[in-house]
Amino acid sequence: MRIGYPCINRTISCCGNKTFRLKSYSEARLKDTVKNNLACLLQILKFNLEHRLLFFRLTSDLVPFASHPINTFDWKKHFQPEFASIGEFIRTEGMRISMHPDQFTLINSIRKDVLGRSIEELKYHVEILDLMNLDADAKVQIHVGGAYADKESSIERFVRRFDGLDNSIRRRLVIENDDKLYDLGDCLRISERTGVPILFDVFHHRLNGAAEMTDEDCLKYTTETWDSKNDGPPMVDYSSQNPVGVPGQHAETIDLDDFAMFLKHTGRFDFDVMLEIKDKEESAIEAFKLVSNDGRVRLNGF
DNA sequence: TCTGGTCAAGGTGGT
DNA sequence: ACCACCTTGACCAGA
């Protein structure tokens, strides 16, 4: 088990997800920004290593406007050495990486233009991981997508579109149960037909589908969708409810009792946990302390 | 220097 | 047809 957090680190004074407005686009600015972002990413990874946080989600803002037509700069070629050396660090230390394109990436959209942009965005994400020479255990997670007033045919469309994706994307793609539309049961049905692994989101499951399956069952079924040889251990997203926020709002800081309970219920399984908590690395460090007595936790990557 | 409106991109659900 | 909301942090113009 590796513990991680997403995208940004608030302890070190280095911002690896800098971007800018489309209006301010220039090639010079893009180069500066990417250079900064990659340098900060390495600093964050070094921080993570020191704190034994071996799981990390890369921000989609690493290369601003990467899949936008305005960006004609060959950033892959230009920054290839930087990507390669960050990748080497990750592999040497046995770290695990994920990425999560945002809500605009919908491969089951009824709109062809949206599908086209989504595929471009997925290409960008897997290119980052490919440039780092990471194995197929580095994943890109998306939701199933919209329902378009007909969930069944939207699932059909997802399956069809997934099967048509380039293998460079398919080998890294995983789907995540969401909080409103596609619950774990839907994801399992889709996985049966496509072979796509399922990333279990604990918090979403509590908001959408909790009555059907216990956490233990969820881990059991989702673990079966990961091919341990190629995909690596299952990934799990964990968050808890913000006690003063509206239902669905992520907690500011980790609820250690709740997390301990989750670990207890899922003790039979090994997986990597991404803590989607507002205070990021702070809660991840707390969680690491909590699980450092757990037989599953990894103190190094191997 | 500070602040609040705004940002490439989609979709849902209420009116 | 239209609008608020989702959710989020940082950009950036204007005070």
Check if residue A110 sits with its Cβ under 7 angstroms from strand B: yes
Domain covering A3-291 assigned CATH 3.20.20.150 in the classification? yes
The pLDDT value given to residue A302:
65
d(CA A299, CA A192): 34
CA of A11 to C1' of B1 (A): 23
Q: What is the pLDDT of residues A152-180, one digit of tens each?
A: 999 999 999 999 999 999 999 999 999 99
- Per-residue pLDDT in tens (0 to 9) along chain A, 302 residues: 999 999 999 999 889 999 999 999 999 999 999 999 999 999 999 999 999 999 999 999 999 999 999 999 999 999 999 999 999 999 999 999 999 999 999 999 999 999 999 999 999 999 999 999 999 999 999 999 999 999 999 999 999 999 999 999 999 999 999 999 999 999 999 999 999 999 999 999 998 986 779 999 999 999 999 999 999 999 999 998 887 777 777 888 999 999 999 999 999 999 999 999 989 999 999 999 999 877 788 776 66
Closest nucleotide to the alpha carbon of A101, via C1': B9
Check if residue A114 sits with its Cβ under 7 angstroms from strand B: yes
Check if residue A23 sits with its Cβ under 7 angstroms from strand B: yes
Instruction: Tell me the DSSP string of A212-250.
Output: T--HHHHHHHHHTTS-TTTT-SPEEEE--B-TTSPTTPB
Burial class (CB in 10 A: 0-12, 13-18, 19+), A89: middle
- For chain A, what are the domain ranges? 3-291
CA of A255 to C1' of B13 (A): 32
A:137-166 Cβ neighbours of strand B under 7 Å: 145-149
Helices then strands, each counted (H, E), chain A: 11, 8
CA of A19 to C1' of C10 (A): 8
Closest nucleotide to the alpha carbon of A8, via C1': C9
CA of A78 to C1' of C6 (A): 37
Q: What is the pLDDT of residues A118-150, one digit of tens each?
A: 999 999 999 999 999 999 999 999 999 999 999
What positions of strand B are covered by protein, i.e. any atom < 7 Å from a CB? 7-13
The pLDDT value given to residue A298:
76
Q: Which of A131, A139, A167 is nearest to A233 (CA)?
A: A139
Question: Which residues surround strand C, with CB < 7 Å?
Answer: A 8, 15, 17-21, 23-24, 103, 179, 246, 248-250, 278
CA of A251 to C1' of B15 (A): 32
Q: Give φ, ψ of A42 to 5 degrees.
A: -65, -40
Closest nucleotide to the alpha carbon of A245, via C1': C7
- The reported pTM is 0.96
